[in-house]
Amino acid sequence: MKVGIPSMGEKGLDEQVGQHFGRVTHYTIVNLDTDEVNVIKNTSHHMGGTLNPPEILKNEGVDIMLCSGLGRRAITLFEEIGIAVYIGASGNVRDAISAFKNGNLQQATLSDGCQEHTFGDHHHH
């Protein structure tokens, strides 16, 4: 099983979890079965690419995404492509994985989505 975590750079397990999953510079992908860690650049449309973040993670074989929080539209996109989302991740990637394994993260539903603004890109947590 592979988990993806929005991250602020390329330090793998020691990297900080990004607070805005679509605008982070990287995603850290951890295979929980093999402990393999892979860091990929965020090449989504937010960063000038063509895919959205859920599509990028799906192409990497991610089954679950761990993040601090996200909007309702993003939750819907992840649900549509079969990636489960768990919210409440904080600290570094290692902390987020530990919290997930210990059952301390909550599976996201549409009611958990951040309020998304229709005016501009302002997004605060």
Q: How far apart are CA 56 and CA 48, in angstroms?
A: 13
Main-chain phi, psi angles of 91, to 5 degrees = 75, -140
Under the banding of pLDDT at 50, 70 and 90, the label for residue 32 is very high
Supply the pLDDT for residue 109. Answer: 85
Structural domains in the chain? 2-112 (3.30.420.130)
Supply the pLDDT for residue 1. Answer: 97
Q: Which two tokens stand for residue 50?
A: 């063509």
Supply the pLDDT for residue 111. Answer: 78
Sign of CA dihedral 18, 31, 79, 53: positive
Supply the pLDDT for residue 115. Answer: 52
Note the pTM of the prediction, 2 decimals.
0.88
